[in-house]
Amino acid sequence: MKAAYAPYTLNFITPGGTSRGIMKTKDTYFIKIWEESCPEIFGIGECALFKGLSAEDNENYETKLVELCQNIENGVPTDLSCHSSILFGFETAILDFTNGGKRICYPSRFTDGEYKIPINGLIWMGKKEEMIARIDEKVAAGFHTIKLKIGAIDFKEELEIIKHIRTKYSDKDLEIRVDANGGFSPENVMKRLSELSKYNIHSIEQPIKAGQWEDMAQICRNTPIPVALDEELIGITHPMEMMELLKTIRPHYIILKPTLTGGLSGSLEWLKMAAQFQIGGWITSALESNIGLNAIAQWVTTLQPKIPQGLGTGMVFSNNIESPLRQWEDYLIYDKDKHWFIPDFKWNNI
């Protein structure tokens, strides 16, 4: 079996604002596998490194990709326990290849165009007027759940935005999830959660920075708003540590990004462990291209989700990969009448 990888830079249509800063581009990598005797049939997966967030973000990342490609060709295993995004890319490339190289990882009613995945609308940080306009656009487009990035601009302004939402849309009409990306501190978090709770917030993601287990556990015990862990899960791959985190913090939800939380296999393990503590959760993308988003969506379908998932990022890039994925109202669908177009990437053959 042959293997190669290629880098690619995705460009945001509109810069995305988070508490970690403004994002204008997103670097990613693709891995391709095929049989030398039949190169036109290949599997492709996305190794969606998230700089500044991925636990594997270091100068040896491409070295690991080279090692993986060499090992694939030599038929030997590669330790990817500390390389979540590369594991995700490898897993999904194998699934794609196994299913005929048609970008189908999990054949299902979703890929048959008969099932649609409920998703939330993502509202990036920005000026107050911009954010309000984006929220109105999402509601007009048919969304009933929005995820609002908070924690970077003045908190009073953020509260004003949420208050504005609630004057126009009741909690029966619009569910609000907020994501602080660790933007609060242990000193101010409870006061801010109390203020947010006045507006019927569904949940808050990662109110304080990851790694403060005892502080987060205390927040989860006393919060007026259900707490979801996000960044807290990144880089934790050993089952004993995963279990200890959930047992210690006891969040209400976990939010899984497969490219950051151990690939598909690691994310499934997180879900199984969380279920033992009656902890809910959902799946979100981590700003992958349509190649990675497609694989995540197909995997999510196997989980039979009951609540909106965070898979609405396919429209944020100007140079995304052309695919059958489409947003329809507050659903992600697979349009069988559309086709994949894989650009001529600059493949690094080993």
200-257 pLDDT tens trace = 999 999 999 999 999 999 999 999 999 999 999 999 999 999 999 999 999 999 999 9
* Superfamily of domain 117-334, CATH level 4: Enolase-like C-terminal domain (3.20.20.120)
Q: What confidence category does residue 17 fall into, taking pLDDT thresholds of 50, 70 and 90?
A: low
The lowest-confidence range among 43-47, 157-161, 228-232, 248-252 is 157-161
Q: Catalytic residue positions?
A: 149, 257
pLDDT of 61 strictly over 60:
yes
Least confident range of 21-25, 116-120, 248-252, 259-263: 21-25
**For the residues of 187-246, what is the DSSP string, one character each?**
TTHHHHHHHHGGG-EEEEE-SB-TT-HHHHHHHHHH-SS-EEESGGGTT--SHHHHHHHH
Could you tell me the residue ranges of all domains in the chain?
2-102, 117-334
Q: 338 near 323, Cβ under 8 Å? A: yes
Which has the minimum average pLDDT: 121-125, 203-207, 233-237, 322-326? 121-125
Q: Is-contact 195 159, C-beta < 8 A?
A: yes
pLDDT at position 131, please? 84
- Per-residue pLDDT band for 19 (boundaries 50, 70, 90) equals low
Structural fold of domain 2-102: Enolase-like; domain 1 (3.30.390)
With cut-offs at 50, 70 and 90, classify the pLDDT of residue 176: very high
User: pLDDT per residue over 136-152, tens digit each?
Assistant: 999 999 999 999 988 86
Whole-prediction pTM value?
0.94
